[in-house]
Chains A and B, each alone.
Chain A
């Protein structure tokens, strides 16, 4: 294992930021600066070409948050004054003050918050990976991805294929008058995609791997290719599902997205503050079957939603959202937590330094049960096994749910019949779906290859998962 290398730029900027914070401290109820330097490498083997570039997540910049008279203002920027830390810190403080002062006057009416907390803390975290992708030879990565692509294209019926790997090194510094936090860790994601075509029918599918990983992620992806090739060809005979309500077994990825979309978004504390969360009426009440436990947290598990501190400088936690079917807690950013009179849960996250922080999920999952997958399958007289998540969407006020699975496998008499459907659109009323959960497998898998948006934007890296879950949903 090797230590992830922290950003030399942030290290060098630390004194300047600290000086700026010191200069600004007396003028505001609260002042903080978050610095980000997330670097990355992206490699792609597409039909006929290989390309090296950068992942979406690369960023370097700063955001200052200031509070006066209860009002909150932020200034995001990505340049720093030159000079020694003392003079650069002074110049930065003057620039921040010049920008945020007018922001306190913007708009006629404004919400006022009590002074934000600034509890003393000084911590540093460095992640570790098995093989450092940033020290690896690009040619090796590209050739391994090209081999994945070519194995897929070798199968007759697969018209298009590509393989991709992204490696991201996250570095963050957070400074207030009393807090000094620094973290560095790597995460990776790798995908193989394919499109199978026969006549007028085209179907696609994928395999994805992710985690706080380095180059070792390619070993995992390579092992997935034969199964993906087989699945793509299988999908060419996929049928359309007859609309109706069915017993369903959700694979860990689809189940995790159910947790994420059905209740994860619904318990984001800013939704409570806006009066958008129906969950607010159900805290302490039953919202799911008694066998359901659901957690969210950047701490406690290791996946792409893991970190030491969030983008508001609050340390990561693990939050029990649902325990034995009872809704227990929200997940909160700093501002919403204050309104709700609760402690922040380490869920204040930004897409990047130049985006606002919101209450966001991290790693969201159902806790495993005591059944095997075979037992769940055998218990299902008629229904569908849903695999390969395509997308999901939340509805926190009205508790609708949408999940799209690329693969549906028919179950009759406790066995898979070989009939396949694609895609499968799943919808339902969240309490009904969660109350109908009757079995949970012993398995536990987290997938963090996707990203989570809030509304139509604000992407952050999350993971979700858990065991196989048996419930009932409307399919179409």
Chain B
């Protein structure tokens, strides 16, 4: 397909640059209801995406337009020509500031190959399923579980000579666990991602979820609480600190939708020394166990470990190369993962006074533009400073713009979703609507 595309692009003419990405996927899926297999599936696909760049000039100023399109492996030569012609024509209609494509550069890091490599997805998932179904937890159990394991080869080439390829294993499970208690039958739904056969971690995550749903079965309605700090842990800690990562990206700075400014405090001008834990944030190419680990970004730019915030000050911006050029900053790549340094509080100290720790929301929403966040509470731990009890229902809301100068983090580091960082974050200014 690469050769056919190169030939068709050359035949079209008028295309200044191009980029092609190839994704080859071989996947296995199994769906369980209780412990029984409900359906088994196999997926084999090969997808291409072509982006063409067309240049223009007006009054001595160079412009560049781009357009992208899917190229299906079943596309005929005639279809290819039509798709390329349509994309090139659409690209010629845009007059964006000119930028150049990434040039070939070697990888900056080595991402270890998954230990699934050498087996097939279908064979690999048997042991994963066994691990996920292994925990036993009294009165709670798995209601239903979906398991996906894929081997994915990615390759990016462009007209400037970039030719970057890598292979990832992507594992995913979404599951619903249930328990019966004084609240009757209750459930929680959660998911987990993995790229290695870390059976102990997978079993431990399921075990923790089973424990949580038992707590929800006994939870009391959330009281209306005034002036209680919110603790967000696990993936919600990653989502909260991910707001900084999101807003330290070049597309958002270029679009003026980010409230953060390079060289200024990410905690805002109102932050007072000692009143918060200064953010230490590094963009990461790889985190052990994450399917998002990759040596290159989607344009073939090699990914390093740029420090995006240090001592709470924005130091670097990540994102696609064109936006870096627009902003006149180094093109560091478009990272999907990040790490955050430890905070000043131990997990126990962070939870030393009264707090509300929401461990399961219906859907935690954190708006990247406004920084407003909140969600309905499915399971939280409420502590009055002496003892803690599970609560459910109601909602919590707040704003990053009101909390960023007061954030505290745990000093215990763990991997959660796209982040390796503090296991919990404390946000002091929130509003709680009781159930």
Which residues of A approach B to under 8 Å, CB–CB?
A: 9, 41, 46-54, 58, 60-61, 71-80, 99-100, 102-104, 106-111, 137-139, 142, 159-160, 162, 195, 197, 200-204, 240, 243-244, 273-276, 335, 354, 356, 390-395, 397-398, 400-402, 404, 422-423, 425-427, 429, 455-457, 474-476
A139–B394 touching, CB < 8 Å: no
A200–B74 touching, CB < 8 Å: no
A139–B255 touching, CB < 8 Å: no
Interface size on B, residues (CB 8 A): 82
A76–B394 touching, CB < 8 Å: no
Contact mask B21-59 → A, CB, 8 Å, 1/0? 000000001111101111111111111000000000000
* 18 pairs, A vs B, C-beta closer than 8 Å: A52-B87, A78-B46, A80-B74, A103-B40, A103-B41, A138-B89, A195-B256, A276-B187, A395-B378, A397-B178, A401-B362, A404-B374, A422-B372, A425-B395, A429-B393, A456-B174, A456-B191, A457-B174
Q: List 9 additional A-B contacts (Cβ < 8 Å) besides A76-B43, A427-B394.
A: A9-B72, A47-B255, A75-B42, A104-B40, A110-B36, A162-B255, A195-B369, A201-B401, A455-B174
In whole Å, how far is A422's beta carbon from the nearest beta carbon of chain B?
A: 7
B33–A142 touching, CB < 8 Å: no
A204–B369 touching, CB < 8 Å: yes
Q: In the complex the two chains form, what is the Cα distance from A107 to B394 in whole Å?
A: 40
**Is the CB of B135 closer than 8 A to any CB of chain A?**
no
**Is the CB of B7 closer than 8 A to any CB of chain A?**
no
Given contacts A54-B69, A274-B33, A455-B189, contact A240 B39 (CB under 8 A): no
B90–A138 touching, CB < 8 Å: yes
Q: In the complex the two chains form, what is the Cα distance from A49 to B64 in whole Å?
A: 10
B37–A60 touching, CB < 8 Å: no
B91–A52 touching, CB < 8 Å: yes
In whole Å, how far is B114's beta carbon from the nearest beta carbon of chain A?
A: 21
A204–B42 touching, CB < 8 Å: no
- Per a CB cutoff under 8 Å, which of B37, B174, B256, B374 touches A423? B374
In whole Å, how far is A109's beta carbon from the nearest beta carbon of chain B?
A: 5
B67–A53 touching, CB < 8 Å: yes
Which residues of B approach A to under 8 Å, CB–CB?
A: 29-33, 35-47, 65-70, 72-74, 79, 87, 89-91, 93-97, 122, 129, 143-144, 174, 176, 178, 185-187, 189, 191, 224, 254-257, 259, 268, 270, 326, 361-363, 365, 367, 369-372, 374-376, 378, 393-397, 401, 431-435
Chain B residues with Cβ under 8 A from A162's Cβ?
255
A51–B94 touching, CB < 8 Å: yes
A474–B433 touching, CB < 8 Å: yes
A106–B30 touching, CB < 8 Å: yes
Closest to A240 in B: B431
Closest 10 CB pairs of A and B: A476-B433, A107-B37, A243-B433, A393-B363, A402-B376, A139-B93, A52-B90, A52-B67, A138-B90, A103-B40
B191–A159 touching, CB < 8 Å: no
In whole Å, how far is A152's beta carbon from the nearest beta carbon of chain B?
A: 12
B191–A9 touching, CB < 8 Å: no
Q: In the complex the two chains form, what is the Cα distance from A160 to B302 in whole Å?
A: 30
In whole Å, how far is A421's beta carbon from the nearest beta carbon of chain B?
A: 11
Q: In the complex the two chains form, what is the Cα distance from A197 to B93 in whole Å?
A: 31
Q: In the complex the two chains form, what is the Cα distance from A109 to B372 in whole Å?
A: 46
Chain A residues with Cβ under 8 A from B42's Cβ?
73-76, 99-100, 103
B374–A53 touching, CB < 8 Å: no
In whole Å, how far is B223's beta carbon from the nearest beta carbon of chain A?
A: 11
Chain B residues with Cβ under 8 A from A274's Cβ?
33, 143-144, 176
B46–A159 touching, CB < 8 Å: no
Chain A residues with Cβ under 8 A from B255's Cβ?
46-48, 160, 162
A427–B268 touching, CB < 8 Å: no
Closest to B433 in A: A476
B371–A202 touching, CB < 8 Å: yes
Chain A residues with Cβ under 8 A from B363's Cβ?
391-393, 402
In whole Å, how far is A396's beta carbon from the nearest beta carbon of chain B?
A: 9
- Per a CB cutoff under 8 Å, which of A47, A78, A111 touches B74? A78
Given contacts A103-B41, A456-B174, contact A160 B401 (CB under 8 A): no
Chain A residues with Cβ under 8 A from B254's Cβ?
47-48
In whole Å, how far is B81's beta carbon from the nearest beta carbon of chain A?
A: 14
B37–A52 touching, CB < 8 Å: no
Q: In the complex the two chains form, what is the Cα distance from A74 to B42 in whole Å?
A: 6
Chain B residues with Cβ under 8 A from A47's Cβ?
254-256
